[in-house]
Structure 1
Amino acid sequence: MIALTLDETRTLAESILRHNGFSEPHVKAVAEVVWAGERDECASHGLWRLLGCIATLRNGKVVADAEPELIDQAPAIVRVDAKGGFSQRAFQMGTPVLVEKARNSGIAAMAINHCVHFSALWSEIEVLTEAGLVAMAFTPSHSWVAPAGGSKPLFGTNPIAFGWPRVGKPPFIFDFATSAVARGEIQLHERAGKAIPLGWGIDADGQPSTDPSAVLNGAMLTFGGHKGSALSAMVELIAGPLIGDLTSVESQQYDAGSKSSPYHGELIIALDPKRFLGDAVDHHLARAESLFEGIQGQGARLPSQRRYDARERSLRDGVKITEKLYEDLQALLV
C-alpha cells in the first residue's frame, strides 16, 4: 500500500487532470469529488475514478474545456447545459441559483443536461444540506442492469440520493444505486481477481454468477427485485425524458462501445424547511432528531455514518491506496 496525505491526494488528482488537458475549472471541480471519495474511504469513487476520466477523454467522449451554460428556465427551475463536460463543473455553476430559487419558492429543481457523469451523488447532496436545504438527486447511467424478471441490460445503476440537514451534526444522507451494488464495486473485484456475491448479477446467458467479468459482460441486478426495478424505471423517466436528456440505453448507444463514463443528465431537487415551516422550523427540525435517536438507540447505524467515521480517520492519518493503482495513476502523468 502507498500512504498519501489528503493534500497529496488532491495534488495528484489535479496534476493528472491538468496534465491531460482539462481546463482549470474542471480540474478543480473533478479533483474535489475524487478527493472527497478518498477522504471518506469510498474507493470506488476515489482516485481510481481518474483512470476512467482520462480514458473517457482519450475516447473523445468528454469535452475537457467545456463551459456550461446557465438557463433560468422557470421561477423554480434552473437548467445547466454542461456542453459535454463532466457534471461537476455544471453543478458548481448551477447550485447558487438552485439554492436561491429554493429559498424563494420553498422548492426548486435543477436539471443538468449533456453531462458526463461518474461520481457519487452524496458529495453534491452534502453541498445542499450545508446550505440548510433538504435535497434529492437522481441520474441514470449506461444500460448495465436487467429489470426484475428480465435477463438483458436495460436500466442504469440509477442512483438515488437524499439529504437532511442537522444542527451541529453531520447531515443525514443516503446515496445508493438501484442496482444491487454500484458497478464500480464489481470492477474493483475484477481488478483484484476476487469473486462477487451471488445476487449482484448474471452472465450473458442470464445465469447467476460470482465471476465479476461474466457479470460485467452480462447484466447487473436491481436490489429488492421488483421494488428496485420500479425505482430504477422512475429514475430513467425523471432524469431522462422529463429533463429532455438520455436514458441509460441511449447513453450506451452514444458510448458506441468505447466503455467511457455515461453521458446523460441529472435532476436535483432542493426543499427549504424555513419556507415550509416558517417560525416553527426549529421546533420541527428538533422533532426530526428523535427519529435519528430512535434508529441509533436500537444499535442501528445511520446512512453515511461509516463515511463520517472514515473522514475523521483520513483527516488525521491520511489515506492508503494500492501500489498498483498508484503506478497506474503515475502513468497518466507521462
Structure 2
Amino acid sequence: MTDTVTLTLSEANDLCLQILLRTGLSAGQAEAVSEVIVTAQRDECHSHGLYRLIGCVHSINTGGVNKVANPKVIDLSPAIVKVDADFGFSSYAYKKVISLAVAKAREQGLAALAINNCYHFSALWPEIEPLAEDGLAALALTPSHSWVAPAGGTKPLFGTNPIAFAWPRADGHPFVFDFATSATARGEIELHGRAAKKIKPGLAIDQDGQPTIDPSEALKGAMLTFGGHKGSALSAMVELLAGPLIGDMLSLESKAFDQGRGASPCHGELILIFDPAVFLGDTLAANLSRAEMLFDNILGQGARLPSQRRYSARQNSLANGLTISTNLYDDLLALLDTAPTALCMTLRG
C-alpha cells in the first residue's frame, strides 16, 4: 500500500458530502462545509483541508452544531448586515448573506458583514478571495477558543485569531493573505502530533509555562502569538472587533461555552468589504495601477507575494488531483462506518 491517496476534486467533494450527511447535517450545511474544505485542500492548505472533517464530525456528534440551522439575516443599516447562524456552520450562513453584503458595498463603498452564533473551523481566505475576484477588497477577522497566551503571559486567553485581506488585480490572481495572530495555526500543531513530529521552537509553552516543541504538550499548554507584543496586540484587536463590537463571544467565552466537548469554536466573524470603484470613481484605473507598481516592486526584489505558493498548488491539484496521506484517508473512511462500495473502489483506484 502506498503512503498517499490521490482524489479528484469531485471525489473529494463526494467524500465530504457523504461523511457530513451521514451525521444528519442538513444538505445546505453539508454542501457549504464541503466546498470550503475541498477549496482549502485544493490549495494544499492541509491543516484546513480534508483533515478538518474529523473535527467537523466531532463537533456535530457532540451536540454542539445545530444540524438543521436556519440562518436569519438582519438588514441593520445601509452599510451593515448581520446574520444569526443559528449555531450552525459559518460557511452556510455566509452563503445566505454575502450577496446582500456585496450589494451594500457597491452602493455605499463600504459594508460590514457580521456573522453571529456560528461554528467556524475554516481558513478565512476562501470567503474573501472570491470578493477580490469580483473587483472588491475585503478584510476578515474571527476569534476562536482561548488557546493562545498573551505576550508575557503563560495561560491561554486569546484565540488563534486570524486576519485575512484580499485586494483585486486586473490580471492574475488577487493579492491575498491569511494568517493567524498565533505563531502558527493550531491545526499545524495537531498535524505534527499525528505525524509524530516535533514543532519548531517559539510556537508554544507547556502547562507550566515552559517552552516546548512537543505537540501534545503544546496542545495542553498554550500557543504563543507571532511577533511577541505586536501579535498579542493584533490578537486583542480581533477579539474586540469580532467579539463585543458585533455582540458575540470572546475566545475565553467560546471555550467556556464548549463545556469540554472539544468542538469547533462557536463565536462571531466580521467581514469588511470595500468597493474601490466607489472610493475612486474616474481614478479607479490609475490607482489600481499604482497598486500594481507596489506588487511589481515586491517581485522585482526577488520577494514573493502572499498566496503565490497556494496558487501554484491550486494549478497542480486541478491538473493532478488532491493527494492526502493514506492514514488520513482511512480515518475519513472510518467516519462513514462502511463507505459505499462504488466510492471506495473509485477512490482507492
Q: TM-score, normalised by structure 2?
A: 0.95
**Aligned partner (choices 5, 9, 12) of residue 8 of structure 2:** 5
Residue 310 of structure 2 aligns to a residue in which SS? helix
1:33-112 alignment, distance < 5 Å: 33-112=36-115
RMSD, aligned CA? 0.6
Q: Spell out the pairing of 1:298-313 with structure 2 (5 A cutoff).
A: 298-313=301-316
* Cα contact 2:55–2:264 (8 A) shared by 1: yes
SS of structure 1 residue aligned to 2:316 = helix
Q: Which runs of 5+ in 1 are unaligned?
A: none
Q: Which residue of 1 aligns with 2:194?
A: 191
**Residue in 2 that maps onto 1:127:** 130
Taking the aligned partners of 1:83 and 1:6, their CA distance within structure 2 comes to: 30
Q: How far has the Cα of 1:24 moved from its partner?
A: 1.2
CA distance in 1, matches of 2:255, 2:23: 25
Structure 1 residue 268, shift from structure 2 partner: 0.3
Give the corresponding residue for 1:218: 221
Q: Provide, for residues 209-247 of structure 1, a one-character-per-residue CA deviation record: whole Å limited to 9, x for no partner.
A: 000000100000000000000000000000000000000
SS at match of 2:332: helix
Give, in whole Å, the separation in 2 of the partners of 1:24 and 1:127: 23
In structure 2, how many angstroms separate the alpha carbons of the residues matched to 1:299 and 1:32? 34
**SS of residue paired to 1:142:** coil
Q: 1:320 pairs with 320, 323, 333, which one?
A: 323
Question: % of aligned pairs identical?
Answer: 60
- Residue 78 (structure 1) shift: 0.2
Cα distance in 1 for residues equivalent to 2:266 and 2:89: 9
Deviations 1:3-34 (A, max 9, x none): 11111111111111112111111111000000
Question: Which one-letter code corresponds to 1:171 in the other structure?
Answer: P
What SS does the aligned partner of 1:299 have?
A: coil
Deviation of 1:320 after TM superposition, in Å, equals 1.0
Shift of 1:315: 0.3
Tell me how far apart the structure 2 counterparts of residues 131 and 94 of structure 1 sit (CA, whole Å).
16
Alignment partner of 1:15 is 2:42: no
Q: Shift in Å at residue 129 of structure 1?
A: 0.8
The reply to whether residue 256 of structure 1 matches residue 256 of structure 2 is no
- Equivalents in 2 of 1:296, 1:329: separation in Å? 40
Local SS of the residue matching 1:207: coil
AA of the residue aligned to 1:174 = F
Q: Which of residues 227, 231, 234 in structure 2 aligns to 1:231?
A: 234
**TM-score (normalised: structure 1):** 0.99
1:279 is aligned to 2:272: no
- Which amino acid letter does the alignment assign opposite residue 284 of structure 1? N
Amino acid of the residue matched to residue 158 of structure 1? N
Deviation of 1:52 after TM superposition, in Å, equals 0.3
Greater shift in the superposed pair: 124-133 or 190-199: 124-133
User: 1:113 is matched with which residue?
Assistant: 116
* Aligned-residue offset at 1:127: 2.0
Q: Which amino acid is the alignment partner of residue 287 of structure 2? A: H
Q: Which amino acid aligns with 1:59?
A: T
Q: C-alpha distance in 2, partners of 1:91/1:127?
A: 13
Cα shift readout 1:139-197 (whole Å, capped 9, x = no counterpart): 00000000000000000000000000101210000000000000000000011110001
Contact preservation (8 Å) 2:85, 2:115: yes
- Are 1:330 and 2:329 an aligned pair? no
Does residue 1:291 correspond to 2:310, yes or no?
no
User: Would you identify which runs of 4 or more consecutive aligned residues in structure 1 move more than 3 Å?
Assistant: none
Amino acid at match of 2:67: A
CA–CA distance in structure 1, aligned partners of residues 312 and 137 of structure 2: 22
1:40, distance to aligned residue in structure 2 (A)? 0.2
Residue 182 of structure 1 is matched in structure 2 by 185
CA shift digits 1:8-65 (9 cap, x unpaired): 1111111111121111111110000000011000110101100000000111110111
Query: Residue 164 of structure 1 is aligned with which of 162, 167, 177?
Result: 167
What is the CA distance between 1:67 and its match in structure 2? Answer: 1.0
**Would you say how many aligned residue pairs link Structure 1 and Structure 2?**
334
- The answer to whether residue 251 in structure 2 is matched with residue 244 in structure 1 is no
Aligned to 2:340: none
Alignment deviations for residues 59-104 of structure 1 (CA, whole Å, 9 cap, x no partner): 1110111010000011100000000000001111111011000011
Indicate conservation of the 8 Å contact 2:23/2:61, yes or no.
Answer: no
